Amino acid sequence: MLHIVNKSPYERNSLTSCLAHAGKGGALILIEDAVYAATRGNVAESAIRRALGDLPVYALGPDLEARGMQGSVIDGVKVVDFGGFVELVAEHRTNQSWL
């Protein structure tokens, strides 16, 4: 399953809840305000680093760039463009948006 999170980890618990339910074999993509969680030096970083041990984590490049965050992405988080996002959705049997 592809898990999609679009809320800042400071505004909502969507990322925390998602990570509590995301199993091995799934994948996580951070889009919109959730891309802040993909950046270094904040309190969500440890959660993302732990998650990377279980599943691949992606972040949407255009959202990082729009927010000026493209230079501080956590090592191991893969940056994808819109085409890459579509491919991820197609690769997984199901997806779940954590609003």
Partner 1 sequence: MTQTSDRIGEDEDAPGVVKKFMFVNRKAPYGTIYALEGLEVVLISAAFDQDVSLAFLDDGVYQLVKGQQTKGLEVKNFSPTYRALEGYDVEKLYVEREALEARGIREDQLLVPVQVVSAAEMAELMEQQDLIVGF
- List contacts with partner 1 (CB under 8 A): 1, 13-14, 17, 20-23, 94-99
Between 13 and 72, whose beta carbon lies closer to partner 1?
13
Six-digit token pair at 26?
């799934």
Shortest approach of partner 1 to residue 99 CB, angstroms? 5
Shortest approach of partner 1 to residue 23 CB, angstroms? 6
Shortest approach of partner 1 to residue 21 CB, angstroms? 4
Contact between residue 97 and residue 1 where contact means Cβ atoms under 8 Å apart: no
Between 70 and 95, whose beta carbon lies closer to partner 1?
95
Between 17 and 72, whose beta carbon lies closer to partner 1?
17
Among 97, 18, 29, residue whose Cα is nearest residue 64: 29
For residues 31 and 42, what is the distance between their CA atoms, to the nearest angstrom?
17
Question: Given CA atoms 60, 37, 77, 92 in this order, what sign does their dihedral have?
Answer: negative
